[in-house]
Amino acid sequence: MVRSMTGFGRGVTTTKNFQLTVEIRAVNHRFLEINTKFPKEWMESEVIAKKMLSDSISRGKIDVIIFLKELNDTQQTIQINWSLLNSFLQAKEELSQTVPMQEKWTMQEIVSLEQVLLVEKVELQQEEIVEAVKSALSEAISNLIAMREREGQGLEGVMLQYKADLEAQIAHIRQTAPSAVEKYRNRLMTRLEEVANGQTLDDRLLTEVAIFAERIDISEELDRLDSHFNQLTETLNERVAIGRKLDFIMQEMNREINTIGSKNQSTDCSAAVVQAKTILEKMREQVQNIE
């Protein structure tokens, strides 16, 4: 099955304390690159998230973003830093000996003293966070893969159309290639008859034509291209990541078409080779979008 490397997925999980939303954005990349933006205290959840993603996705640049919304007023406590507060009091007493100051501090003044009153929120339980991340991320991954598969169906249709167009050009090359040998034979015979002044040179002519025919023979390249076409069809039906394999097949097909172009340089064949290389380049561009 063909999967695109681009896509988006969102998952939401709600607990009694918070609502967690996970968003995944994926774009093309040669390998798998996962970037996560989790709070530093969520390290365990981040490790689990990366493992889940690498188990489900083979290629692409993956960005994961989380959004946390607290549903209830989180319980908070205030810790008093008595040591620091006493130090402030002592400093006030020393200052009051030379600077007139009020004897009592207001609550506002105490609150303004840095680090004297520390507000602490009750931390969320790690177990609850991990389970919420796993649930939301699982949903997000499923949605991402579904979107990649929908786009992959379009890519598969494009690849199959290009394949048909390329096969048509190769069939034209197969049909017109033998005429190059016959044209060379007739041209050589004419020249040799002019030089020989009517003498019989059939053996030399046949030898020269045979050498030329062997030199421009492209039957092996055409047979290998047929094999590559079969591999392409089979690969498009595989239910694994196929992008790299398709890229290799494109390289091999390009090699065979280049060889054909260098061997058989008849007008018809050369025109078909140019068309084939143009189509193949379009196929290679599409392959870069496939996981």
The overall average pLDDT reported for the chain is 83
- Mean pLDDT on 41-59: 94
Measure the CA–CA gap between 157 and 168, rounded to whole angstroms: 17
What per-residue confidence (pLDDT) applies to 70?
Answer: 79
Query: Phi-psi bin for 60: left (phi > 0), alpha (psi -120 to 50), beta?
Result: left
- In this structure, how many other beta carbons lie within 10 angstroms of the beta carbon of residue 27? 13
Q: How far apart are CA 63 and CA 47, in angstroms?
A: 14
User: What is the model's pLDDT at position 206?
Assistant: 59
Which CATH architecture is the domain 7-73+127-148 placed in?
Answer: 2-Layer Sandwich (3.30)
pTM score = 0.72
Q: What is the pLDDT of residues 60-104, one digit of tens each?
A: 999 999 998 877 655 556 666 677 667 766 766 665 666 565 656
- For the chain, the structural domain boundaries read 7-73+127-148, 76-121, 152-287
For the chain, how big is the Rg over CA atoms in Å? 37
pLDDT at 201: 53
The pLDDT value recorded for residue 45 is 93
